[in-house]
Amino acid sequence: MCDRTGTETLENLYCLRCNRELESGQKSVAVYLFAQTVGVRPRQKSSAQRICFCAQCAVSLGMGPPPEGALNVAAWQMIRDVVGADPALTEAAWEDLRGVAATLPENDAEGTPRPTGTNGYLEF
Ligand SMILES: [Zn+2]
């Protein structure tokens, strides 16, 4: 049912977590969300929402602890799936972090958190 041939609208997209503007072609994660009724006729279906996370936030979320709320947990698990499946996304996130780290004092390096990728439930 999805058309992936590049017909997406060219609206400006912002990371839901950090509000960074996502440029066209930038590595990011999009979560598509819609609701539909089950067992009700005629079936009702909401419009689809597209929620975006920049690579850094997606990796940070995916490597982090589960959030509060069943719906948030469901989204978190989906993000973990795609983050774990695509090293390019993690690399993009680290490139972002290196850019940030370059502006920090050298003696702060030991406090830098590192994603381990071994502390959980990544399944492929
Ligand atoms: Zn972000």
- Angstrom distances, CA of residue 99 to CA of 56, 94, 105: 12, 8, 13
Hey, what are 60's tokens? 């940070």
Beta strands in 48-120 (DSSP E): 49-54
Query: Residue 97: which pLDDT band, with cuts at 50, 70 and 90?
Result: confident
CA of 118 to the centre of ligand 1 (A): 23
CB of 38 closer than 8 Å to CB of 31: no
Chain mean pLDDT for the chain: 80
Is the pLDDT at 53 greater than 70, yes or no? yes
Q: Are the beta carbons of 46 and 34 closer than 8 angstroms? A: yes
Please give the distance, rounded to the nearest whole angstrom, from the Cα atom of residue 16 to the centre of ligand 1.
Answer: 7
Q: What is the pLDDT of residue 10?
A: 53
Contact 59, 90 (CB under 8 A): yes
pLDDT of residue 56: 93
DSSP annotation of 16: T
Q: What pLDDT does residue 58 have?
A: 95
Does the pLDDT at position 52 exceed 60? Answer: yes
pLDDT value of residue 103: 67
Is the model's pLDDT at 31 over the cut of 60?
Answer: yes
Dihedral, 44, 41, 75, 5 alpha carbons, nearest 10: -60
Ligand 1 centroid distance, CA of 41 (Å):
39
SS3 assignment, position 36: strand
Return the higher-pLDDT residue of 67 and 123.
Answer: 67
What distance in angstroms lies between residue 56's CA and the mean position of ligand 1's atoms?
Answer: 6
pLDDT per position as a tens digit, 7-30? 455 567 899 999 999 988 889 999
Tell me, in angstroms, the distance from the centre of ligand 1 to residue 34's CA.
22
